[in-house]
Structure 1
Amino acid sequence: MSDPQVPEFRQQQTPTSGGPSTDPERPKWMMTLAILLLVALPVVGQILVQNPDLKTAFYRFSWTMYSR
């Protein structure tokens, strides 16, 4: 009895949470965002390692963003 109720519960949850089955646009931009983050993280890390001045500026910028 519990097995058939599990997929129904998941199908009821997807419209409220905007799952991949109901909203085709959301996973697309989430995938592009994840790919951009994966590409940008090593590039930004390499730039920060090569330029210590940028590293301190980045730390100050992130500190001002998070301290608000």
Structure 2
Amino acid sequence: MAVISHWLNNKSYPGTRADTAAVTNPATGAVTGQVALASVEDARAVIDAAAAAFPAWRDTSLAKRTQVIF
């Protein structure tokens, strides 16, 4: 079953914890995958990376940000 990892610095980041939680289809209740659970250290790493990336993102044009999102 697929494990959804964290996202850090534009790439997949598995994190430091080994445990996961089930991802379910809300319509059927069927388990469709697993999501990696984060430690406090994992959360801090992702938050710090986002804070560091924000100034460049803020200065990126709306047209370019829209392209990235879609």
Shorter-chain TM range is 0.3 to 0.5
TM-score, structure 2 as length reference:
0.33
If the length of structure 1 is used for normalisation, what is the TM-score?
A: 0.34
Of Structure 1 and Structure 2, the greater helix share is in 1
Structure with greater contact order relative to length (CA < 8 Å, sep ≥ 6): 2
Greater Rg by CA: 1
